[in-house]
Amino acid sequence: MTARFTLLILSLFWLNFSSAQKIDLKTIKEKLELKNEKLIIINGIPYDLTATKEIDSVLNSFSNENLVELIKIKNDGKLGHWNNDVVIVLFTYQQKEKDIKRILKGLENKFPDKYFGDSQHILSDSKNPVLVINDKSIHHTEAKKEFENLKLKNIHYIDYRKDSVSVELYGKNGLIRVWLK
């Protein structure tokens, strides 16, 4: 299974899962079909997968609406000294203002296309990334205007993915995800 296909499947899982109740380790194990994995990383903090109560406590402290990423990364020995795959869980959090500014500055020139009606298709013709605000895809003809109208003080979390997104779902120019306060 290719990395893009895996990300596509996990993105669809994330969309279906975000409306469910609370996420827990049992659900993650079932959905990702975990077998020999030993490590789960939640918002950058590693946990041994045997620490079920501790992991569930951490997972329950977040809302599923703030789930950004839930993936299993194949480890071929390049991710540290262990050989098991790694589970990554990422929830949004209140980013620091300086980090949001840095990300926004890096994205200023990511919307070069100007649209006149629906003349270009976002997945094949566009040079713009896909913009998603609060889990709602913004139509590609409106994305540049919506992005330019974002106010720093209203942004809770912003994320840009260029290489690790599904081209089939998000096009070839990446994905910008924004969560507002």
pLDDT tens for 20-41 read: 557 889 988 888 888 878 889 8
57 band by pLDDT with thresholds 50, 70 and 90: very high
When pLDDT is averaged across residues 43-56 and rounded to a whole number, the result is: 90
| CB atoms closer than 10 angstroms to residue 100 | 19
Give 180's strand partners: 155
Mean pLDDT of 48-56: 91
What mean pLDDT is predicted for residues 125-144? 83
Res 100: pLDDT: 94
> Between 90 and 118, whose confidence is greater?
90
pLDDT greater than 90 at residue 175: no
Mean pLDDT of all residues belonging to the chain? 78
The pLDDT confidence band at residue 12, using thresholds 50, 70 and 90, is very low
The answer to whether residue 52 scores a pLDDT higher than 80 is yes
Are residues 129 and 155 in contact, defined by beta-carbon separation less than 8 angstroms? no
Q: List Cβ neighbours of 133 (8 Å cut-off, separation of 6 or more).
A: 146, 177, 178, 179, 180
| CA–CA separation, 38 and 49 (whole Å) | 5
- Pairwise CA distance, residues 39 & 18, whole Å: 23
Residue 86 has pLDDT above 70, yes or no: yes
Which pTM was predicted?
0.62
pLDDT at 14: 47
Per-residue pLDDT, averaged over 56-79, amounts to 80
pLDDT at 98: 95
- pLDDT score, position 105: 93
| Whole-Å CA distances, 181 to 53, 93, 151 | 30, 10, 11
Question: How far is the C-alpha of 132 from the C-alpha of 139, rounded, in Å?
Answer: 9
